[in-house]
Amino acid sequence: MDTGDVEVTSADIARIAGVKPTAVSNWRRRHDDFPRPVGGTDRSPRFDLAAVERWLSAHRGAPSIDPDQRLWQAVDSLRSSMPAESALAWVGILLLHLHRHGTPAAGAADPDALFDAARTGFAASLADAGLEHLVGPDSPPRAQLPVLADAAVRAARGSSPATAFERLLAHLDQRAPSGSHTLPPALADLMVRLAGPAAGDGAVADPACGRGELLLAAGRAGHSPLHGQDRDAPSARLAALRAGFAGLLDHRLHLVVGDALRSPAPPVGGAGTVLCAPPFGERNWGTEDLVEDERWVYGIPPRLESDLAWAQHCLALARPGGSVVMVMPPGAAARPSGRRIRRELLRAGVFRAVISLPPGLAAHYAVPLQLWVLRRPEPGRAPGPVLLADTSPHDPGAPADEASVVDRVDRLWRAFLADPDAVAEPGVARGVDVVDLLDEDVDLTPRPRLPVPRGAAVDLETFARDRRRVESALRALRTLVPRPPGEESGAEPTRVVTLAELAKAGSVTIRRPAARRTDRDHRTGDARTTARVISGEDVARGRPASGTEEVDADPMRNPPVQEGDVLIPAVAARPVARVATAADAGAYPGPGLYVVRTNPGAVDPWFLAGFVTSTAESRTIARVGSSTRGSLRVDPARTRLPVLPVEEQRRHGEMFRQVARFRDALHELDALGQDLADRSVDLIAGRWAPAPPAH
């Protein structure tokens, strides 16, 4: 089978080839045999995938397209005739059939028969589970069945049907992420553990189940039955498909399509556990129609407090003593409009924990979401302490490691259950009595209520060491302060020459920054090695090579840096040049770095580096960057050098070298001074670090 009528955009081609979209535009202009558009518009043309694949193979030696990428393109090509989720569901039905019955050999299956068998089998599974209402959607056009079947079989053979389907879902989430659809599985598993054993028969409910991530996590932990509801029928259908891959598509799974706030469908007898990642910040959630609803035990939610409406709905689904674990936006814990409801929830003993997650941990959300662990009150049970925890890195901008965050929350929760009073980690977590939370604002944001970390502030020995290093750097800097040059160095040269002209004469070679290459750019047989990489930022900041990457090891295509090379960042706040030292030698230049190699008998490298950084030449060789605010784009080929004998160049080059040593000393002093200043602030502030309030 061929790829048929699958169409791709220029951006798709760039993704497939591992290049920037501008490269695709260049190919279209420069190559008359590049495939012609088969659809789209002049501004956004679409191309036949099979023709593009043949062209890439002929011109770039590119391997065949990744099976998962091919399958996604086949699904995406149907968006003009049916919604993406519907097309994805049909491919999921086919992949589920392959998961259950095996993958046929290439070209052995009849596409129509394969789809008919897959559709019949899925409909039968839904009927057996009592989910006939999820049958559908409309079939894709018959003409597209061979394309979809071929792509699905290839993807299933390349990994597995279940893996291929999950990767399709990931593609869809990148296009339109929302709600619990994009919760990482590790976070879903954590929420199940925080809920603990389900009360009663082990029933678990999720009233905004989306594609079923939380239900699948509960199923992995052995909970049953599983009750899900979602107002989006395609999402519920995808949840059923995922349950089929997990072996859960049977009488244990109950899925309802409908708005859980307006048309709740609670499990009979209530749920022992409720898990939920509801839609955030909705305004049209039904507040006018639901004013008299009996679920609002803790107060009628204002129109802007849909999050607290969902919290009360989840509590209403749970049995007395049942657990509720929710993903919530940080505003739900702090907004003034919700303080009355939060106060009543605290007084009733509903809150068990509020845990702040690092920004970006919960899929596409850039805000620091929170986990709320709640419990539906039992008669006669007094409110207990509440665990407040903040798992965000204390260094701003530091990345959050998902595994370490999950492990930390697990550890804190177990310690809290064992002894709430024993949990007291400065800056991280502590158990708080309800009475201490019932202040005027009832703000449950964890960080302001945690004691300030004091560990770094009391290390006087480290402070003394840093102070000695700063004093030593200050003394060294005094000896390097530049002196005015002698009068003989001020003679005006009679002629100047540009670096481009010197390159034409063979006195220097200018190696331009290479574009960052992806794995798909690597030709078969390329020699690869893992090595140090020096970037333009390393040079601008006066630091050694800071990265390690896999690079092209061919010395002709990609020679490493040699001692004496002049390194010039392509983008910087001002033109910067560094003459490579022995420590730099052997590293490979990064994508944003020019490397100028001189013939020492014609051009002194220090003489060249000095003029690159001079104020006069900065105006000549740099222009304002088009995409980075406050930056300049540097073209060292335009650098003008006075025409001097090489001995005279070396004499001036030595002066430039002395200035460079002064700059290096300033960089070192700045780094040491900033560390000492930060430690001084911590030392002063640590004297008054607030202790946790008395329980």
Which positions ≥6 away from 271 have C-beta within 8 Å? 198, 203, 204, 205, 227, 317, 318, 319, 322
Q: Which long-range contacts (CB under 8 A, 24 or more apart) does 308-312 make?
A: 308/332, 308/338, 308/341, 308/342, 309/261, 309/285, 310/207, 310/208, 310/261, 310/276, 310/278, 311/345, 311/372, 311/374, 312/341
Mean pLDDT over 403-425 rounds to 92
% of the chain exceeding 90 in pLDDT:
39
Transcribe 280-296 into DSSP letters.
PS-S-SSTTTTTT-TT-
pLDDT of residue 627: 44
Q: Which long-range contacts (CB under 8 A, 24 or more apart) does 115-121 make?
A: 115/90, 115/139, 115/145, 115/148, 115/149, 118/93, 118/94, 119/93, 121/96, 121/97
CB 307 within 8 A of CB 328: yes
Give the model's confidence band at 439: pLDDT under 50 very low, under 70 low, under 90 confident, else very high.
very high
Determine which of 11-20, 169-178, 535-544 has the lowest per-residue pLDDT on average.
169-178
pLDDT of 525 > 80? The answer is no
pLDDT of 520 > 50? The answer is no
Q: How many whole angstroms separate alpha carbon 324 and alpha carbon 326?
A: 7
Distance from the Cα of residue 55 to its chain's centroid = 33
pLDDT of residue 137: 65
Transcribe 509-522 into DSSP letters.
EEEPPPPPPPGGGP
Give the model's confidence band at 171: pLDDT under 50 very low, under 70 low, under 90 confident, else very high.
confident
pLDDT of residue 518: 46
Strand stretches in 158-279, DSSP E = 204-206, 226-230, 253-257, 271-276
pLDDT of residue 237: 92
CB 223 within 8 A of CB 196: no
Most confident of 78-82, 137-141, 380-384: 380-384
**∠ CA 13-15-16, rounded to 5°:** 65
Which positions ≥6 away from 562 have C-beta within 8 Å? 580, 585, 597
Which pair of structure tokens corresponds to residue 213? 């991530």
Dihedral sign, CA of 258, 259, 260, 265?
negative
Determine which of 135-144, 302-311, 343-352 has the lowest per-residue pLDDT on average.
135-144
Mean pLDDT over 125-138 rounds to 86
Higher pLDDT, 366 or 39: 39
pLDDT tens readout for residues 662-680? 888 888 888 888 888 887 8
CB atoms within 10 A of CB 191: 24
**Average pLDDT value over all residues in the chain:** 84
In DSSP terms, which residues pair with 594 in a beta bridge? 568
pLDDT of 170 > 50? The answer is yes
pLDDT of residue 263: 94
pLDDT of 406 > 90? The answer is yes
% of the chain exceeding 70 in pLDDT:
86
Give the model's confidence band at 436: pLDDT under 50 very low, under 70 low, under 90 confident, else very high.
very high
Q: How many whole angstroms separate alpha carbon 473 and alpha carbon 468?
A: 9
Mean pLDDT over 154-166 rounds to 89
**∠ CA 299-302-307, rounded to 5°:** 85
Name the DSSP letter for residue 367.
Answer: S
The phi, psi pair for 167, rounded to 5°, reads -70, -35
Higher pLDDT, 631 or 389: 389
Reported as half-sphere exposure (CB side, CA atoms, 13 A), residue 678 has a value of 9
Mean pLDDT over 290-301 rounds to 94
Terminal alpha carbon distance of the chain = 72
Distance from the Cα of residue 496 to its chain's centroid = 50
Which pair of structure tokens corresponds to residue 616? 């006069």
pLDDT tens readout for residues 200-214? 678 999 999 999 999
pLDDT of 280 > 90? The answer is no
